[in-house]
Amino acid sequence: MGLYPGQRLNNYRLKNQIACGGMGQVWLAWDEERGVNVAIKTIADNLFVDPNFTKRFFDEGRRHIKLNHPNIVPVYDVFSAEHYNCLVMAFIEGASLADILDNQPDYRMPLATAIPIVQDILGALNYAHKHGIIHRDIKPANILIYKKNGRGFLIDFGIALAIGEDRRTCTGQSIGTPHYMSPEQITNPKGIDHRTDVYSVGCVFYEMLTGRPPFVAEMATGGETDFAIKRAHVNLIPKPPTERVNTIPAYINDVILFALEKKPENRLPGCQEFLRLLQVGETKPIVKIRKSRRPYLYLLVATVITLIVVISVLLIK
């Protein structure tokens, strides 16, 4: 039997469903202990094939409870009831960034509106990264915009890790979207670090300003779409944002492309640097530091130049 308004789960009484997706449902509920409205994400315990899902869900939920940042939606509780795994969060009155973009002209927003939201998310991620937590699933649907002041809040820390690498339900349905996945998350998901979130924020920022993610598969269908987009993340260079919207400032274009570098070692090193460049990039040029895959080549070139100089001096004498 499914969930229904008025149903009681532990200390929470369900009011109405406010969101529904491939992973489960989100309900507005009344917290009878605190006397406040909360949001409860519910995931059926038989949804995923992986038998370790429930344990990971609880582990990641408890880690999220420990996070305390003004731009991370607080998690109050994690429990199982009526064959559902439940994550209890603060209720943020507003809408997801995905919904807001869907209602914008050309599916994009002004730079002056986008930058504060991106800064909020970068600040939240920088805090989480310092506490050893990687989000792994940054996308517009996981960013909430508070109705009163337009500030950004991040949700669903660790849920991608709880789902696991297969990311499929018992019915074979794929969970999540590849539009914001870093190349290393596609090719080596066990080896990722905090820089995967940097890449994903770059993808979201790109979409906020241009009306589309860096890579889409316009001609592909079904399962081919995911494959085509993942292949693009790994192999293709994104079109510069300024080529899609010529009013985007050059420094913003450069920061986004820096975040979208394929190799983590060539990418913006972290969210703190991402934030800094957004603040100073307009006045200072952005210099990308690339680590060479062949450092010996530079040594060889330097040696040859030195020999040429020495031989020239000897000939002159």
Catalytic residues: 137
What are the angstrom distances between the C-alpha of 67 and each of 127, 130, 199, 216? 9, 11, 22, 33
As a whole number of angstroms, the distance between CA 303 and CA 281 comes to 36
∠ CA 223-224-230, rounded to 5°? 100
As a whole number of angstroms, the distance between CA 288 and CA 296 comes to 20
Partners of 37 in the β-ladder? 30
CB 184 within 8 A of CB 264: yes
Q: What is the DSSP track for 205-267?
A: HHHHHHSS-S---SS--THHHHHHHHHHHHHPPPPPHHHH-TTS-HHHHHHHHHHT-SSGGGS
Q: What share of the chain is helix, strand, coil (3-state, %, to 5)?
A: 45, 20, 40
Q: Could you tell me the two tokens for 294? A: 């062949």
Other CB atoms within 10 Å distance of the CB of residue 268: 26
As a whole number of angstroms, the distance between CA 152 and CA 204 comes to 13
